[in-house]
Amino acid sequence: MFSKDIGIDLGTANVLIHVKGKGVVLDEPSVVAISPKTKQVLAVGAEAHRMIGRAPGTVETVRPLKDGVIADFDMTEKMLTMFIDRLGVKGFMTKPRILICCPVKVTAVEQKAIQDASLKAGARRVYIEEEPKVAAIGAGMDIYQPSGNMIIDIGGGTTDIAVLSMGGIVTSESVKVAGNTFDRDILQFVKKHERLLIGEMTAELIKKEVGTAFPGTAEKTIDVRGRDLATGLPKGITVTSAQAAEAIRESVRAIVLGARNVLEQTPPELSADIIDRGIMLTGGGALLDGLDKLLTEELKVPVYLAENPLGCVVAGTGIMLDHRRANFQKK
């Protein structure tokens, strides 16, 4: 019976879905809007995302994943079901096979939760792959040769750092610091230093517009609004790149340290390959200004930003579905 294979990047911030033969058909934020009373789902994805911080008491917005793993099983399953239903890949008596990614170093229980949520959402079979491996393939790295390839995948909730050779992970580390941590840092900084309460979305906007991991080059500013903590009234302030850089400095440091640890545990032959090839940066968090420059300086190895950092994992699932079908069947 004919059924479609689909690849899913189930992320803390975004869900992307690749349908075999069609390419990327869905790219939506991992957000669910529910009625707090009845727990009924009111909206998912982009529609629910628009409600964050702006919904009345009758609507609650939930992010069902935290730090790359499932924090709310029911909501993850409902969100996945609604996304998969939209694709029209579930035929009469047929269900898709799903290739889905998880961060490295997740527990068996966390992996099982991802598998169960996919099965309940309508999968016939579920194959789980480690995110940095899939991201590396999506970024165009040839990880199947006996040589070292290093990747730093900075998502919303986790940063996965791995050295790959011959199709497997040789050394890796998962740090629970990534794009969303930078947002929280900025929110706290503005609260403490400007006595202004801003929303999650405003903090993310500051990060994207003026945030930098390598301060001192181009000083940018952004005007934002929030609630004055002293008066309780709306107030506007200007945030500079220097302030945003200070806010996220410790979190950026944690990523640098994670990468250093992985390099320190890497066998010398593979280290030599990494010096030659450089390190690939993927994931939306890698779009933070100056991060490639800072990592290059700190690690003494060239660090390159992938062509489409946000799309590497889902592109990798597509390549694996196209070329590695035989591999899945062996499992």
Give contact residues for ligand ATP (rule: CB under 6 A). Answer: 9, 11-14, 68, 155-158, 178-180, 204, 207-208, 283-285, 287-288, 310
Is 317 annotated to bind ligand? no
Please report how close the Cβ of residue 110 comes to ligand ATP at its closest, in angstroms.
12
- The CA radius of gyration of the chain, in Å to the nearest whole number, is 21
Please report how close the Cβ of residue 201 comes to ligand ATP at its closest, in angstroms.
10
Give the E-state strand segments of the chain in sequence order.
5-10, 14-19, 23-29, 32-34, 41-44, 60-62, 65-66, 69-70, 97-102, 125-130, 149-154, 159-165, 168-175, 196-197, 221-228, 234-240, 279-282, 303-305
Closest CA to 68 of 23, 135, 120: 135
Please report how close the Cβ of residue 113 comes to ligand ATP at its closest, in angstroms.
14
Query: Among residues 208 and 220, whose Cβ is nearest to ligand ATP?
Result: 208
Query: Among residues 50 and 124, whose Cβ is nearest to ligand ATP?
Result: 50
State the Cα–Cα distance between residues 294 and 214, nearest whole angstrom.
Answer: 6
Is 130 annotated to bind ligand? no
Is 14 annotated to bind ligand? yes
Please report how close the Cβ of residue 170 comes to ligand ATP at its closest, in angstroms.
21
State the Cα–Cα distance between residues 69 and 123, nearest whole angstrom.
Answer: 19
Is 200 annotated to bind ligand? no
CA distances for 322 relative to 34, 76, 125, 317, 319, angstroms:
36, 26, 17, 9, 5
Contact 175, 254 (CB under 8 A): yes
Query: Among residues 14 and 149, whose Cβ is nearest to ligand ATP?
Result: 14
Query: Among residues 195 and 253, whose Cβ is nearest to ligand ATP?
Result: 253
Count CA atoms closer than 13 A to 189's CA, side-chain side.
26
Please report how close the Cβ of residue 115 comes to ligand ATP at its closest, in angstroms.
16
Is 11 annotated to bind ligand? no
Is 157 annotated to bind ligand? yes
Query: Among residues 49 and 95, whose Cβ is nearest to ligand ATP?
Result: 49
Is 232 annotated to bind ligand? no
Pick out the residues of the known binding site for ATP: 12-14, 156-158, 204-207, 284-287
Q: Binding site residues, as ranges?
A: 12-14, 156-158, 204-207, 284-287
